[in-house]
């Protein structure tokens, strides 16, 4: 089955959301930061991105059965102190839609925006179609002026069938250890993949797309690996132990968000390791788009036991310990190193 129409809509939605996010990041003020129950920062752009994606998908793919699993809901904005923030979000969305010019419509109201945000309350599951959205993946990177992504995927009967990663600050050229990810070089990548169709990349300004492929390296000594920038998001010591066992010589490349999946899909590095702290439950929106972008580029994404990720169980992934990503040639070696490092860490009380 072809998802050409859906992929076109997803690219449009993620690209417009990226434009909105870029505006906010340029003028980032401390007053943009809210606090959620889990204390992670949420910005005006987070809500605006989700509302804009929801709106664009609804316009491009009108249906009575629209379903989206997304990170945010409008509860905070509906409280007494939320009106000013809602007004700013609404203005941002209307300005973005107006400058794009694709839709001939009256400006959206605050209530329109709240409704669009709350269209992301679906629980997903194994049947039907569900969009999966992280409106800003890598919020801390966003706040630092560094890497973040708008990550959008489509589930059909529990399987990820397409994914789009809009990475406004990811350089178009390969990134590596020697580079600081400078925003001075040309940046802004859009990765997109459809099941059976490979993975492509283009610049966010709409240049011609090119097909991308994961690194073909078979030698771990030549492989570099990505991991989360924030130590709170992944066990860096465990990743280091795995890299040592593999014989990886390059230091890790630490960047925020699913931009790592995009960079890996085009061969910037060969391995991505993510081992959250005990008790953390991975959400499907943190990996759905990245997973298909890498797998359609020839890579493999599994949990630490070598099992494929299962996106059909609702809003969370039930995982064996962590997530590992690499090419097909390196995966057997990586799995062995992961197993050995995990067994050692479990046998060591200090870990």
Q: What is the DSSP string of 287-325?
A: THHHHHHHHTTTEEEEETTSPBP---SSSEE--SS-EEE
The reply to whether 139 belongs to the active site is yes
Q: Quick one: 94 exposed, middle or buried, by C-beta within 10 A (0-12, 13-18, 19+)?
A: middle
- 134 annotated ligand binder: yes
- 136 annotated ligand binder: yes
Inter-residue contact 337 to 242 (CB < 8 Å): yes
Active-site hit among 32, 46, 118, 303: 46
The helix or strand, by DSSP H or E, that contains position 160, with its residue range, turns out to be strand 159-171
Output the six-digit token pair for 151: 């990550």
- 137 annotated ligand binder: yes
Active-site hit among 85, 96, 139, 321: 139
Output the six-digit token pair for 298: 């020839």
C-alpha to C-alpha distance for 266 and 116, rounded to whole angstroms: 33
The reply to whether 46 belongs to the active site is yes
Angle at 185 between CA 215 and CA 182, to 5 degrees: 85
Output the six-digit token pair for 113: 């925006």
| Residues taking part in catalysis | 46, 139
Positions at the binding site for Mg(2+):
71, 134, 136-137, 286
């Amino acid at each position: 089955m072809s998802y050409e129409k859906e992929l076109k809509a997803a690219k449009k939605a993620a690209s417009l959301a990226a434009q909105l996010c870029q505006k906010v990041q340029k003028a980032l003020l401390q007053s943009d930061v809210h606090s959620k129950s889990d204390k992670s920062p949420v910005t005006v752009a987070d809500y605006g991105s989700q509302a804009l994606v929801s709106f664009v998908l609804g316009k491009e793919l009108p249906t009575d059965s629209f379903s989206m699993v997304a990170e945010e809901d409008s509860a905070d904005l509906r409280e007494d102190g939320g009106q000013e923030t809602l007004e700013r979000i609404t203005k941002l969305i209307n300005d973005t839609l107006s400058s794009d010019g694709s839709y001939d419509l009256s400006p959206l109201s605050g209530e329109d925006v709240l409704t669009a945000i709350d269209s992301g309350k679906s629980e997903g599951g194994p049947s039907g179609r569900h969009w999966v959205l992280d409106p800003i993946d890598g919020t801390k990177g966003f706040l630092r002026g560094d890497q973040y992504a708008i990550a959008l995927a489509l589930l059909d009967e529990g399987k990820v069938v397409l994914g789009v990663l809009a990475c406004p600050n990811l350089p178009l050229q390969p990134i590596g250890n020697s580079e600081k990810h400078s925003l001075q070089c040309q940046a802004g990548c859009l990765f997109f993949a459809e099941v059976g169709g490979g993975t492509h990349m283009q610049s966010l300004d709409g240049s011609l797309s090119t097909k991308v492929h994961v690194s073909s390296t078979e030698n771990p000594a030549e492989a570099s690996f990505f991991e989360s920038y924030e130590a709170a998001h992944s066990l860096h010591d465990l990743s280091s132990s795995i890299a040592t066992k593999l014989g990886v010589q390059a230091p890790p490349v630490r960047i925020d968000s699913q931009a790592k999946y995009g960079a890996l899909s085009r061969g910037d590095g060969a391995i991505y390791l993510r081992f959250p702290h005990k008790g953390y439950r991975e959400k499907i929106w943190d990996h759905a788009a990245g997973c298909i972008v890498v797998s359609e580029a020839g890579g493999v994404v599994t949990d630490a036991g070598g099992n494929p990720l299962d996106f059909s169980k609702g809003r969370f992934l039930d995982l064996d310990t962590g997530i590992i990503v690499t090419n097909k040639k390196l995966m057997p070696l990586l799995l062995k190193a992961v197993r050995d490092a995990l067994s050692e860490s479990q046998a060591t009380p200090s870990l």
